Structure 1
Amino acid sequence: MLLSIHHVAIIASDYAASKRFYTEVLGFELAAEHFRAERNSWKGDLTLGSIQIELFSFPDAPLRPSRPEAQGLRHLAFSVDDLNAVVAGIAARGIDVEPVRVDPYTGKRFTFFADPDGLPLELYEG
């Protein structure tokens, strides 16, 4: 039986830029980092509470289709207590954040922004 999501894996076009984004902007901690010479690839384990992201670099990885939306993983959503404060902190770092919207089914507020490779990230209040 499934217990929870163990981790999310992300392939970055620029490993250093994405590592900075997830650690310095979003507050993840770098728990481990390894260079795999046989793949010419970095792997970083990033943690934030119980959330774990495996951040990879692979030479010549193809671009991720995002707009128009493609089949597969649509976005990664983070729960926040104070949406306005988190949006202000992210925007203060020069990152574009979409206008806050209200989910018509739950009445909860949310918004989207993107990581350095355009992966859609959602902030969901509540």
Structure 2
Amino acid sequence: MLEGIHHAAIICSDYGKSRQFYVGILGLEVIAENFRAGRNSWKLDLALPDGGQVELFSFPTAPPRPSYPEAQGLRHLAFRVAALEPVIRHLQDCGIEVEPVRVDEYTGKRFTFFSDPDGLPLELYEQG
């Protein structure tokens, strides 16, 4: 049976910009980085601290995906954090806009959203 999520895959419009965002700003560790010449595509495997991974792809003719208004399909990618404020400050110091903190009405946990360079909604979910 299922044991957990292995990875989430993201197709970006500007590989260099997205690589800098996920590695330089979010601090994800590079596992492997490969250029696939036959597809004219980069594939970047990034490690999350809990053992999960994010795969970052570039495809030269990928169409944009609507995020707002919300469309059917995968809604967002959420990252677990011990405390929101230090991460929010870091993102804001890097020039990234972060939405106001909200409280989950069912769990009482605090969370907020921000976006990657392509407008993909990303969530910070406080576990503390």
The two structures have a TM-score, normalised by structure 1, of 0.98
Q: CA offsets, 1:37-72, max 9 Å, x none?
A: 110000010112212011000011000111110000
Q: 1:107 aligns to what?
A: 108
- Equivalent position SS for 2:39: coil
User: Which whole-Å CA distance do the structure 1 matches of 2:19 and 2:38 have between them?
Assistant: 21
Q: 1:83 aligns to what?
A: 84
Say whether residues 1:3 and 2:3 are aligned partners: yes
User: Which whole-Å CA distance do the structure 2 matches of 1:42 and 1:108 have between them?
Assistant: 36
For structure 1, the residue ranges without an aligned partner over 5 or more in a row are none
Say whether residues 1:48 and 2:52 are aligned partners: no
Q: CA offsets, 1:50-99, max 9 Å, x none?
A: 12011000011000111110000000000111101110111110000000
User: Which whole-Å CA distance do the structure 2 matches of 1:34 and 1:125 have between them?
Assistant: 33
User: Which whole-Å CA distance do the structure 1 matches of 2:2 and 2:102 have between them?
Assistant: 32
Residue identity in the other structure for 1:46:
L
Residue identity in the other structure for 2:10:
I
Q: 1:18 aligns to what?
A: 18
